[in-house]
Amino acid sequence: MKKTAPVAKNDYIEVQVEDLTHDGAGVAKVDGYPLFIPNALPGEKAKIKVLKANKGYGFARLMEVVEPSPYRTAILPEDVSKYGGCQLQHMSYEGQLHFKEKQVREVLKRIGNLSDVKVHPIIGMDEPFHYRNKAQVPVGEKDGKLIAGFFKPRSHEIVDADESLIQHPAINEAVRAVKKIVSDLGIPAYDEEKHKGVIRHIMARYGKQTGELMIVIVTRTKELPFKEKIVQELISQLPHVKSIVQNVNSKKTNVILGEQTNLLWGNEVIYDYIGNVKFAISPLSFYQVNPDQTKVLYEKALEYAGLTGEESVIDAYCGIGTISLFLAQKAKKVFGVEIVKEAIEDARRNAELNSIDNAEFAVGEAETVIPDWYAKGNRADVLVVDPPRKGCDEALLNTIIEMKPKKVVYVSCNPATLARDLKILEAGGYQTVEVQPVDMFPMTTHVECCALIKLKV
């Protein structure tokens, strides 16, 4: 007999929420059948409407919280809390940290079979708002009026918003200023469907330690109308601005930035510090959006590396050299590898900026370059990996196992792929000693980790 779901689409039912998914949706079960409910929290009794009932699971909308979770906080205006990328804004910060630490412990156990690994209490922020130093705000039109804000989830509909609680106030101020200036001047916003109009995105970057501000106006057209007027207005309204840039993206694409960048006024780069390391930030540079917590994470990586000044270190997925330059202060030599050519150019520039001469950078895939280094006799005492969300490439993990560095320091932005990769390294002769979760992105579901892995003797 074919098994059917115990609920049907458009059913209104009352449920007890038991858990959260990795992306922050509440989980309730009806006769063992899981329902995923955005904005619901564990411990809550809630009235829901079933939106979809698949064979093995369903989705529902939260209609009413009957008994709230102790972690529930006031829900902010809908246009900010639902569409501003803040999936956990309805949850107290204490609750968010509890959820993220629990997630790390559970995936290490479930995916990595690492139930005995020491997981330290998560390191959160004293002030979990206004931490982001970069915004990329889509621009459009509604009812003949220029709008800018956030995309609705799973859509390209822009919700107009003048404020984000996770953006630095200087970023919010800059976006509001550009929005008003181009609107007052009557410059048309980009129409995605017709591929017409001018202003596509407003981007702002801020150096928290230096107070320097960069504004990037992304246009479909090479010509930016009233550009001299825009520059004058921005300089007069924003005293911290050091760089005003136009980026041209004429393609019909979801990619935000195009290949052509024109400096309209000021400097080509702004500067910021993570710890005592100085970084030059261009419009296209990758740079961590929460430098305060990045410092916490990298200091932990440096601590786990345990460098004495005699070690050779390889930094896979080195980006613009952020971790490499931290490590170079304590290592004999650091070798960084990164597939993005522009990032390596930034890494070399940042090494020169800090007078660091014991860091060497190469362009290429880590899983190709590092085995080549190994074949040529480049042996690392410590290997640091900071991969994208998909985790380490299998070829790189196999090279680590063959190369046998005494220590591997794994910086992760995805606990699930971290657990998967640790399981492979454990099978290859390594032991996971400890894991430190760090909350880099409060109000969101993301959690970073730093893991110390040692070669078994």
Q: Residue 158 pairs with which residues in a beta bridge? A: 151
The reply to whether 318 belongs to the active site is no
HEC sequence for the chain: CCCCCCCCCCCEEEEEEEEECCCCCEEEEECCEEEEECCCCCCCEEEEEEEEECCCCEEEEEEEEEECCCCECCCCCHHHHCCCCCCCCCECHHHHHHHHHHHHHHHHHHCCCCCCCEECCCECCCCCCCCECEEEEEEEEECCEEEEEEECCCCCCEEECCCCCCECHHHHHHHHHHHHHHHHCCCCECECCCCECCEEEEEEEECCCCCCEEEEEEECCCCCCCHHHHHHHHHHHCCCEEEEEEEECCCCCCCCCCCEEEEEEECCCEEEEECCEEEEECCCCCCCCCHHHHHHHHHHHHHHHCCCCCCEEEEECCCCCHHHHHHHCCCCEEEEEECCHHHHHHHHHHHHHCCCCCEEEEECCHHHHHHHHHHCCCCCCEEEECCCCCCCCHHHHHHHHHHCCCEEEEEECCHHHHHHHHHHHHHCCEEEEEEEEECCCCCCCCCEEEEEEEECC
Q: Residue 135 pairs with which residues in a beta bridge? A: 204
Active-site position among 318, 413, 449, 450: 413
What count of residues does the chain have? 457
Active-site annotation, residues: 413
